[in-house]
Amino acid sequence: MTDNTKTLETVREWTLGLPGKISAGPRWVRVLLLVVGLAFCVYLPFLDVLPFAYIRTDLGEGGSDWASTLFTITLYMIIAAGLNVVIGWAGLLDLGYVGFYAVGAYSLALFGSPNSPVTQAIAAQFGLPTGWAMAFAACVPLALCLALISGVALGTPTLRLRGDYLAIVTMGFGEIIRIVMRNSSWTNGASGITKVPEPPAPDKDFFSTMLPERWYWLALAVLVLVIWLLRRLENSRVGRSWLAIREDEDAAAVMGVNGFKFKLWAFAIGAALGAIAGLLFATKQASVEPNLFQLNLSFLFVAMVVIGGSGNIWGALFGAFLITYLPERFREFEAWRPLAFGLALVVIMVLRPQGLFPNRRRARELEDRKHEAEEAAADA
């Protein structure tokens, strides 16, 4: 081993050991780091100190607005966190995640916008004044409910299927949702719905398109909440059951874990998080149309989780960051983006099936399987 690789090895060990060292450290260190980290995230849109400002996406000609990019990154991080529950923790490959994203976006648009056929029909039915629409705050629980219902409705028949069948069926579901939105009159068909409401704010211009950093902070707040909830969930009874099911469903069943029930939970929770992200997207966008929810997005979402390292929430977040940030920063290569994704998916999965920052347990599982294969080859 040369000196060079030795140094690399030491650096790698030190970095990988860092989270452990921090969590072993005194409480005030952890709290301080958390506060500093959050403050930095909040400050990010204004980052203007030179060597660091190179990460901004709006330096060059025609670059995209930095705060809006941050919003998109945060939005996709929420999605990655949600999909990580389904793929990473419960081990179910869901290729129709964009369907739930669309359900969230559309439920806000359908019930919250005065322009949607649904609110107009309700208003006409109950003699409400024209221009009536449900309040944003009322649409949020409604969107969550609809997402949970669609998650359970999709999950109940399909979760008994083998893993790869499940992938195809969920993909079909994502397409069906889009085609229904495109072809139905109650969703305004292909032209979509405008005037999606804004979140409640102290004054009318609080959330305006001129101030994208406020949208970013909103998304950031949601993301922090989601991460906090999911971290609690991971170490709960439910999280442990998911782990058991993923590693060996039969063994888990013998131990009294109801596989179907917990898979359905994973599906429903993933659906709800996808809907929250869709809702944020719709309100920032101010209008929705079926073409915004193409199936490619589903693959993008899966790529984020898998490249980052499925099973590790931080890995998934990092994957979301990479996949959203890099194409925005290097916009001149935008047209090459899908090709690069495809290549990255193949190369990373072949070389590192566990992803860039895998969950430690998950990596060990894969290592185990590899040894089994080698032993079997040696026996043969």
Partner 1 sequence: MDFSNLIEGLGGYTIDGLTKGSIYALVALGYTLVYGVLRLINFAHGEVFMVGAWTVLGVYTALGADSGVGVPLAIGITLLAGLVAATATAGTALVIERVAYKPLRDKNAPRLIVLITAIGCSMVLMELFGHAFKVWFPGAQFGRAAVNIPTIIPTQEAFSIGGVGVSNIDLIVIVAGVAMMIVLDQFVNKSRLGRGVRAVAQDPDTASLMGVNKDRIIVLVFVIGGVAAGLAALLHTLKYDFAKFDMGFLIGMKAFTAAVLGGIGNLRGALVGGLLLGICEVYSSAVISSNWEDVTAFVILVVVLMFRPTGILGESLGKARA
Residues engaged in binding partner 1 (CB under 8 A): 91, 93, 95, 157-158, 161-165, 167-169, 171-173, 175-176, 179-180, 182-183, 295, 299, 302-303, 306, 335-336, 338-339, 341-346, 349-350, 353, 366, 369-370, 372-373, 376, 380
Rg, Å, the chain Cα set: 22
DSSP H stretches of helix in the chain:
3-24, 27-43, 50-53, 66-84, 97-112, 117-126, 136-158, 163-183, 212-234, 237-247, 249-254, 259-285, 295-308, 313-329, 337-351, 360-379
Provide the minimum distance between the beta carbon of 173 and partner 1 in the complex, in angstroms, as a whole number: 8
Provide the minimum distance between the beta carbon of 179 and partner 1 in the complex, in angstroms, as a whole number: 5
Instruction: Give the span between the Cα atoms of 261 and 244, in whole angstroms.
Output: 13
Give bridge partners of residue 288 from the DSSP assignment.
193
DSSP string, 3-18: HHHHHHHHHHHHHHHH
Q: Which residue has the tokens 């990092």?
A: 318
Provide the minimum distance between the beta carbon of 13 and partner 1 in the complex, in angstroms, as a whole number: 24
Provide the minimum distance between the beta carbon of 296 and partner 1 in the complex, in angstroms, as a whole number: 8
Provide the minimum distance between the beta carbon of 274 and partner 1 in the complex, in angstroms, as a whole number: 19
- The SS3 of residue 248 is coil
Helix-helix angle 295-308:66-84, to 10 degrees: 80
Provide the minimum distance between the beta carbon of 84 and partner 1 in the complex, in angstroms, as a whole number: 14
Q: Is 265 exposed, middle or buried, given 0-12, 13-18 or 19+ CB atoms closer than 10 A?
A: buried
